[in-house]
A and B are shown apart, each in its own frame.
Chain A
């Protein structure tokens, strides 16, 4: 089971409440019972005293005893019908007795008529069994005439009161407990709202985002967490910034010596040389060209990986970029090995993006295709737009990649068996990374030429992309390179 902070808090709260309320309830119930006992005992004693006063001073002395010489008071048994409505339920459960000096009953309620007289000296409170019931009996000490008065009450009535009391004390908490649980749940949820907010923010972040987190009103307890997270993000950003600078520096540091070696080799080849030396230097130059290309690709990839996810986008015209790429690849096109076709569905197809990444994407797509097609092959570059995406497709009629191996070619240094020695991997990794940055999809499809491969990149258009027009001066640089149309 996953530990939930909310569940934990709720159960803890309920536990604490129960731990406090239950003993409190039991204690207060016990106290109430004792109080009631005392109260009723007091009442019992008082009624005995009342009878005594009545007997001593009032007309009781004038009452005529019955044939046995006793006087019975029909208490609670014979009652006038109208009186019954006001009758108390406990009435039949009380009674009294008045004994003469000789121990004979002078006066008695019907309920206690049969109770045997008390042993002498037996005064105060006492529990007795009478008529199959337990009674609480109070006996007054004999007065000056030697008359003893007893009052009694059945325990049933007390039990009824106690029952009622228990129910009154116990039932509300029992009913309230589930309600309390619900309310506690609500309160906990309410209290943990900032955590929920933090979670929402974290899950709404783009993968790789290194933007600092901000909460509207961060509670004190969350501030260290936020600070730690933000510091971590800042450190990541720093590291990436360093990496970016590093790759730019490496580019500079490597390109210059490679350029020097290239010029030196070409100088050597221009000199009269034995054919063997000429061939060897030619080979070295070829190797250097390949090395330079690899370095370029690795740097491009490093740069792409260091692009901050939160970097603001600019409008980028894919047609202009493709034109720049074709110009750049002119030497390869000039070889005439491959027939290149181009199709732009519009004069300008503008997406919101990161220009250097899109340039790397187009360059590597086209460069890969031109390299992988055998002599006399065909490559088609097309850029179009649907309602939702700008679509770049590069199609060739080379050897292609069987569908089951297509997923593997995105691996960095993957090389297809029987390919011309240049791996797809690095180029496609660059394409994939650049696409990823733009939330674009990259698909490897069957080529409509019957053989070969079609790479399809779909870059999602934002709703305003279709109407975005970048400043024309800046973009005209790519529409037609300056030394061509100047």
Chain B
């Protein structure tokens, strides 16, 4: 998978280059805005990691211009700005996700995976979170290598959670994923479903934020 990293800070750029190569990505490292825009138009990378404060052309302008010329490469913005307004601007400009410095490499890797999955569709048909793994084509789940039998709805729920592993998913989104948008869902149907999943996958596989939603941690033990 080919990634373009745009970062003008030499230290951070070098460190990220090593980290991404360690994770198995092919990385091109660029240091300014015009080069980033040219690379987006010319090389069609699979994903771009883009710093906002760039010499030559601001990161936001790079995103805007790329989107205007119908470049659909997923762009993950990495920035030192974190005011909410900046975040909105970044997403409004057409970035796909937004990560504030400093961050953990794991977090970055997870966001990149989620992003490329969204763009490519589930090409490899597999979603993983630590010891938990599902195959979307075969509708099969494994925990620590052992197959786990899931109902259709349990599988849909787990799929939605795994697509956003490490983040809390609001119950409204989960209900829509499991029951469809139009269906009226009875009060505790989702709780019952989660309870069933927990019994099969272990209590630690799904975290509850009561009254709000659920999450599957990135590393299910």
Say whether A331 contacts B170, CB under 8 Å: no
Q: A336's contact among B78, B81, B96, B204, by CB below 8 Å, is which?
A: B204
Chain B contributes a number of interface residues (CB within 8 A of A) equal to 50
CB distance from B179 to the nearest CB of A (A): 15
Encode B164-201 as 1/0 by CB contact (under 8 A) with A: 10111110110000000000000000000000000000
Docked Cα-Cα span, A344 to B170, in Å, equals 13
Given contacts A267-B22, A483-B97, A485-B173, contact A336 B207 (CB under 8 A): yes
Whether a CB of chain A sits under 8 angstroms from the CB of B70 is: no
Taking CB atoms, residues of chain A closer than 8 Å to B217 are 334-336
Q: B167's contact among A255, A292, A330, by CB below 8 Å, is which?
A: A330
Taking CB atoms, residues of chain B closer than 8 Å to A261 are 11, 102
Given contacts A259-B12, A484-B173, contact A331 B107 (CB under 8 A): yes
Taking CB atoms, residues of chain B closer than 8 Å to A259 are 12, 78, 80, 101-103
Name the residue on A nearest B211 (C-beta): A342
Report the stretch among B13-21, B28-36, B150-158 that lies at the interface: B13-21
Taking CB atoms, residues of chain B closer than 8 Å to A442 are none
Given contacts A334-B215, A339-B208, A355-B84, contact A260 B9 (CB under 8 A): yes
Whether a CB of chain A sits under 8 angstroms from the CB of B53 is: yes
Given contacts A255-B80, A267-B19, A356-B84, contact A326 B101 (CB under 8 A): no
Say whether B101 contacts A258, CB under 8 Å: yes
Docked Cα-Cα span, A260 to B103, in Å, equals 9
Docked Cα-Cα span, A334 to B164, in Å, equals 12
Q: B212's contact among A256, A288, A342, A356, by CB below 8 Å, is which?
A: A342
Whether a CB of chain B sits under 8 angstroms from the CB of A57 is: no
Encode A459-481 as 1/0 by CB contact (under 8 A) with B: 00000000000000010010011
Say whether A330 contacts B101, CB under 8 Å: no
Whether a CB of chain B sits under 8 angstroms from the CB of A45 is: no
Q: B102's contact among A248, A292, A323, A334, by CB below 8 Å, is which?
A: A292
A interface list, Cβ under 8 A from B? 248, 251-252, 255-264, 266-267, 270, 288, 292, 303, 323-324, 326-327, 330-331, 333-336, 339-344, 355-356, 359, 474, 477, 480-486
User: Besides A263-B12, A334-B217, A485-B173, 19 other CB < 8 A contacts?
Assistant: A255-B101, A255-B102, A256-B9, A258-B101, A259-B78, A263-B16, A263-B105, A266-B105, A267-B15, A292-B102, A303-B83, A331-B166, A333-B209, A341-B209, A342-B212, A344-B211, A477-B88, A481-B167, A483-B115
B interface list, Cβ under 8 A from A? 9, 11-12, 15-16, 18-19, 22, 53, 78, 80-85, 88, 91, 96-97, 100-107, 111, 114-115, 118, 164, 166-170, 172-173, 204, 207-212, 215, 217-218
